[in-house]
């Protein structure tokens, strides 16, 4: 299939960009596919570990060259050193080595201008309510008078736009910084609008982590007390790479009370500890069921599992959130429970969790 005209134009423009050995970037084996979406253009340049500095000017020149053909799209050019040049599409293994050795790249994990604290919401397993917790904890923090942002880093299933009722593609300013969305007093950005159909697959791996880091750094967050980042589920390369390059003040682990979910939660905690990211504590979501008709409580999932696990691991237990139809309904409607029914018990559960997190981070 012929390339889209914009991609062809970028390929031509990259012929004039030189890599350190003097050859053209367009012919360089480590140049990834060029991804084109309605709002963004992204590609990665894979380099040998240690060569990142030498490729800095290449990244700048490639960005400029692509911008001339971008027709108003945001350009994200990433340098990845996690895999050998030419090994296109392979998933990184290098990042994992660092985690095993308990290393964090201190020179890379630099603070983001204007943001006081960045926390991650993580889980070992999918579908436990991480995104729901991210949004409602962020709102709880905002209700404490803090300036709060949300970054959806879940490439596998970006759901923050839906949860916050956000539509459309992000705008960016003349200086190419993204303008974050605003919803319910939160600033929000998501990788979602950058992904289209099967492109999500191409974005996985080192390129995805790198695009995420750029999304974090190239958004005009203004001054934030705290940015809450919704991580993809699990303990894979993306999580490891983000932890090595973003200065997290801590991570909140969300789990359901079931045994299997807890095993995965323990794995996640282990990973963050090895990466020197403080685990702020654990949230037990879908902790117990409240019948919508009678309001009666049922402990259908063996309530308290996460609390026991937290205790055994000497971790703070941040709180429990009931399984309640209204939480799901409000999520589906794009109006979070903490906005729609702030006085409900469910919203108050999130509020208490946010309060503990804020105290733990010395934000209040
Ligand atoms: N406490 C709750 N009560 C009722 N429904 C809930 C609750 N928490 C989450 N849900 C619902 O469960 C589903 C999964 O929640 P959510 O998307 O937040 O999980 P996740 O961990 O982010 O999932 P993924 O791993 O796919 O990103 C959603 O439909 C959500 O509305
Ligand atoms: Mg999610």
pLDDT tens sequence for the chain (364 residues): 688 999 999 999 999 999 999 999 999 998 988 888 777 888 888 888 788 889 999 999 999 999 999 998 888 888 877 543 333 333 333 333 333 333 434 335 778 889 999 999 999 988 899 999 999 999 999 999 999 999 999 877 789 999 999 988 788 787 878 899 999 999 999 877 666 655 555 566 666 777 788 889 889 999 999 999 999 888 888 888 888 888 999 999 999 988 777 888 999 999 999 999 999 999 999 988 877 778 788 887 777 888 888 888 888 999 999 999 899 999 999 999 999 999 999 999 999 999 999 999 999 9
Check whether residue 349 and residue 306 sit in a common domain. Answer: yes
Residue 79 lies in a domain: yes
**Which residues' Cβ are closer than 6 Å to ligand 1?**
123, 126-132, 154, 157, 159, 233, 285-286, 321, 323-324, 327-328, 331
**Are 78 and 223 within one domain?**
no
In this structure, are 65 and 199 located in the same domain? no
Q: How many structural domains comprise the chain?
A: 2
Task: Give distance in angstroms: CA of 359 to centre of ligand 1.
Answer: 26
If asked whether residues 126 and 80 sit together in one domain, one would say: no
In the block, tokens 């993204």 appear at: 178
Q: Among 56, 75, 90, give the residue marking a domain's end.
A: 90
> Which range marks the domain in which residue 26 is found?
5-90
**For the residues of 255-293, what is the DSSP string, one character each?**
E-SSHHHHHHHHHHHHHHHHTT--EEEEEEEEEEEE-TT
Beta bridge partners of 181: 188
Tell me, yes or no, whether 109 lies in a domain.
Answer: no
Residues 75 and 158 placed together within one structural domain of the fold: no
Which residue's CA is minimally distant from atom 29 of ligand 1?
A: 328
Whether the Cβ atoms of residue 294 and residue 264 lie closer than 8 Å to each other: no
pTM, rounded to two decimals: 0.82
| 82/208 same-domain check | no
Residues 20 and 158 both lie in one domain:
no
In a domain, 95, yes or no: no
Q: Residues 347, 337: contact at Cβ < 8 Å?
A: yes
Q: Parallel, antiparallel, or unpaired for β 186-190 and 181-183?
A: antiparallel
Encoding tokens for residue 233?
């589920």
Ligand 1, atom nearest to 331 Cα: 31
Of 73, 90, 107, the domain-final residue: 90
Q: What's the gap in Å between 254 CA and the centre of ligand 1? A: 11
């Amino acid at each position: 299939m012929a390339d889209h005209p914009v991609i062809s134009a970028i390929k031509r423009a990259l012929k004039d960009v030189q890599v350190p050995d003097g050859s053209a970037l367009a012919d360089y084996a480590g140049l990834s596919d060029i991804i084109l979406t309605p709002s963004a253009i992204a590609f990665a340049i894979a380099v040998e570990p240690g060569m990142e500095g030498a490729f800095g000017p290449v990244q700048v020149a490639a960005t400029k060259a692509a911008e001339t053909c971008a027709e108003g799209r945001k350009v994200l050019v990433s340098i990845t050193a996690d895999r050998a040049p030419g090994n296109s599409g392979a998933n990184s293994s290098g990042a994992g080595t660092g985690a095993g050795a308990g290393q964090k790249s201190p020179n890379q994990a630099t603070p983001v201008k204007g943001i006081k604290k960045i926390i991650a919401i993580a889980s070992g397993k999918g579908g436990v309510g991480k995104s729901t917790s991210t949004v409602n904890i962020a709102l709880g923090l905002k209700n404490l008078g803090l300036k709060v942002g949300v970054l959806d880093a879940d490439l596998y299933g970006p759901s923050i736009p839906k949860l916050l009722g956000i539509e459309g593609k992000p705008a960016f300013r003349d200086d190419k910084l993204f303008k974050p969305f605003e919803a319910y007093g939160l600033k929000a950005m998501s990788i979602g609008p950058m992904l289209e159909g099967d492109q999500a697959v191409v974005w996985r791996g080192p390129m995805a982590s790198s695009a995420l880091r750029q999304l974090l750094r190239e958004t005009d967050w203004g001054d934030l007390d705290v940015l809450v980042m919704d991580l993809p589920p699990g303990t894979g390369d993306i999580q490891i790479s983000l932890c090595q390059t973003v200065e997290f003040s801590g991570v909140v682990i969300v789990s359901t009370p079931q045994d299997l979910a807890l095993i995965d939660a323990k794995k996640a905690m282990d990973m963050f500890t090895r990466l020197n990211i403080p685990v702020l504590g654990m949230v037990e979501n879908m902790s117990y069921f409240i019948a919508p008709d009678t309001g009666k409580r049922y402990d259908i999932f063996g309530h308290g599992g996460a609390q026991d696990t937290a205790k055994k691991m000497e971790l703070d237990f941040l709180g429990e959130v009931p399984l309640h139809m209204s939480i799901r309904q409000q999520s589906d409607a794009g109006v979070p429970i903490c906005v729609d029914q702030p006085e409900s018990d469910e919203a108050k559960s999130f509020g208490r969790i946010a309060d503990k997190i804020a105290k733990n981070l010395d934000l209040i």
